[in-house]
Structure 1
Amino acid sequence: MSRLPSLYISHGSPMTALNPGQVGVRLAELAAQLPRPRAIVMASAHWLTYQPAVGAHPQPPTIHDFGGFPPALFALQYPAPGDPALAADVAQRLAAAGLPTAQDPQRGLDHGAWVPLRLLYPDADIPVVPLALQPMLGPAHQLALGRALAPLRDDGVLLIGSGSITHNLHDFRAYHSGGEAPYVRPFVEWVEQRLQANDTEALLDYRRQAPYAERAHPTDEHFQPLHFAMGAAGSEQLGARRIDAGIDAGMLAMDIYRFDGAAS
């Protein structure tokens, strides 16, 4: 079986599910390029816990974890099966790496998971296992989560971190009807440069080193799925490739990254 890359996906607002725009095109193209995975492990910015946790529901429900959107959005479902056996394997691998992990038999798929997955695999016929993140433990922790699970890529498992390359909803009113937040492009360009240089240390220290880090990410949870995907590359040589999917509402950069790691 061909080795899969790991991915970082900017999932945008929940409305991406109804109006996918450029990111929908890019994700469909990406799905066509990848070998078909046997399962997906999805680390979303919208499932946050104090210690590692993995979803073990055999049929994860679709979670509509938002409010104030059109009824059509709440009617959407993503009925992909779960994979309790894979969830147990994930928990075992993380525990072996010193990251004891709870299995949650009730957890469904939040919009950080099902919105991009509907664009990648609209048939919802690939099992999905959600994975929680712990932003309070810092970027190095998310990197360690990814590294512990990286060998699953050789077994047909697609490892995805879902967040947003920039995420400052305080600026939505200022830019959603036109214009572009001045910090978006400098921040996005810095991230791409550091990833291309395999500069993991700078990316772990992005709060101090990246331009406009506090504006691009007032909180960490939407950026740290990138560190998970970096760790899942399985190598210091990240093999990072940026897929530009535009800027939504003037302040949400929709970049996608694939990490192929070092050549086999």
Structure 2
Amino acid sequence: MTHCELEDITMHLNNRISSIRRVLELRAIAKDQDKRIILEKIGQDVLAIDGLLDQFEKCVVRQKDLLKHLKELEGFFQEDVQDGKHLRDNKPTHMPGKGQQALHGGGPLSESKPADVQTAQQEKPRKTSKNHIREMEFITSVEFESIPQYMKGRETYDQLNAVVQNINKALTGKYKIVHQSAKTLNNATRKLLQRFKEEENKETKGVFFFVEADIKEFTQMKVDKRFVRILNMLRHCQRLRELRGGGITRYVLH
């Protein structure tokens, strides 16, 4: 009910009451049969006013219930706003990639997967385009906590994912050259492509891998003991596996 409607009802009630007062002042003439008809009409008006008052009270109750419901909704809305602000101010530096498990509340990753999971993965191979470059997925906070402390040392979550980012940079640089037409390569990239082919073998067919030389070529990261320790951490999180042969260690993406 709007404000204007309430004013109309109030005015209507006041007019009715004024009429009743005037008639009551003339009740002395009620003995007149003709005037008795007027009094009966007044009685009907009083009953009508009483009905209007009942409707008005019911409307007030409905409006109070609606106001209470709106206040509850406002409280829920404010909670959502606070949650949104918290997510905005505390978003992780690195988000899991598409299809990557968030591992909320899960335990540490095991070195081996159940047979049914392996079978399902074998039955549903990834469909990739010919020139698609696969990248290593970032480490989640739960996975980082699953790494043994002796293996982590002083490395932080952000430092570990910074290395993942550099590895992806090296993979992108390498496989852009691999997928590039040989006619468009210059002498430097032709030499790199020749090295890439020499590092391949029958076990690397259809997989993405990198070697230490790729890290040196495409990033500013040092290949030292710290880098080797981080590779062990990534292997623990099942991001890569080692493939040795011909005096070269190949790091293959899972």
TM-score, normalization by structure 2:
0.25
Q: Which has the higher strand share?
A: 1
Where relative contact order (Cα < 8 A, 6+ residues apart) is larger, the structure is 1
TM-score, normalization by structure 1:
0.25
Q: Which has the higher helix share?
A: 2
